[in-house]
């Protein structure tokens, strides 16, 4: 029992003294996950929007596919990306394996279906009159599309935040693709996994607290945007 209490004491000590190793790990986590989510948003919001407003062949299939991908295990993403970027893989020449870029790629694949699916349902829930109103006020097709997204802004932001919450907390892909290299690809989740097995509870608990704090902030933000939905 003592080791837990000691661990917690150590954890707060590390957090309040702004321990540089912890600080760097948190910074890298945020950098990797934010980059992944920003890139995933660019593609995911666009595709989610198209899926909601366009009629095309295979629409129902694509909706089902995206919903299936929501349940994609992170280790499977790790496996797929690993086989693509490992030295023998088709993208091996770029030497991405065990770099932050590899982790960004994995987290990007994890976040895209979430952002597509939630944007799709957000845009579908928008009043059909938005587009016609914009058009009749003289908007181009692109301007009217932008207005639809603007009307769905809170739900789309919620989609992006949900994607971020998912990737910042995942461990499988980060471990397999980043390799948990100290000072280079070690992020909060992989560090917690390692330090726990090493018996460095203080270090692990400190990161756990920070990760929980991030998750808590994300949820507050999410709640705020969801309550703004009209």
Chain positions contacting another protein, by CB under 8 A: 127, 129-130, 132-141, 143, 147, 150-151, 230
Per-residue DSSP letter, 140: -
State which residue, 67 or 132, has the beta carbon closest to another protein: 132
Min separation Cβ 97 and another protein, Å: 46
Q: Which of 128/223 has CB closer to another protein? A: 128
Nearer to another protein, 28 or 152 (CB): 152
Q: Is 97 helix (H, G, I), strand (E, B) or coil?
A: coil
Q: For residues 158 and 64, give the distance between their C-alpha atoms in angstroms, rounded to a whole number.
A: 21
Q: In the numeric block, which tokens belong to residue 101?
A: 């870029």
Report the nearest approach of another protein to the CB of residue 140 (Å). 6
DSSP string, 94-149: G--TTSHHHHHHHHHHHHHHHHHHHHHHHHHTS-THHHHHHHHTT--HHHHHHHHH
Cβ–Cβ < 8 Å for 8, 205: yes
CB of 152 to another protein, least distance (A): 10
Q: Which is nearer to another protein, 138 or 183 (CB)?
A: 138
Quote the least distance from Cβ 225 to another protein, whole Å: 13
């Amino acid at each position: 029992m003592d080791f837990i209490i000691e661990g917690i004491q150590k954890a707060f000590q590390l957090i309040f003294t702004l321990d540089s190793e912890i600080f760097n790990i948190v910074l890298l986590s945020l950098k990797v996950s934010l980059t992944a989510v920003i890139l995933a948003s660019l593609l995911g919001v666009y595709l989610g929007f198209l899926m909601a407003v366009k009629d095309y062949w295979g629409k129902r299939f694509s909706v089902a596919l995206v919903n299936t991908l929501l349940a994609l295990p992170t280790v499977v993403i790790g496996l797929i990306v690993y086989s693509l970027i490992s030295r023998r893989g088709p993208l091996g020449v770029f030497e991405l394996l065990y770099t932050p870029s590899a982790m960004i790629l994995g987290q990007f694949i994890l976040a895209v279906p979430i952002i597509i699916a939630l944007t799709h349902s957000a845009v579908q829930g928008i009043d059909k009159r938005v587009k016609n109103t914009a058009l009749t006020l003289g908007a181009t097709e692109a301007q009217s599309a932008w207005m639809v997204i603007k009307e769905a802004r809170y739900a789309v932001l919620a989609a992006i935040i949900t994607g971020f919450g998912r990737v910042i907390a995942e461990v499988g892909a980060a471990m397999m693709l980043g390799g948990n290299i100290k000072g280079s690809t070690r992020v909060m989740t992989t560090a917690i996994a390692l330090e726990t097995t090493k018996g460095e509870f203080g270090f692990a608990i400190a990161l756990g607290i920070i990760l929980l704090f991030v998750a808590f902030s994300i949820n507050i933000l999410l709640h705020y945007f969801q309550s703004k939905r009209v």
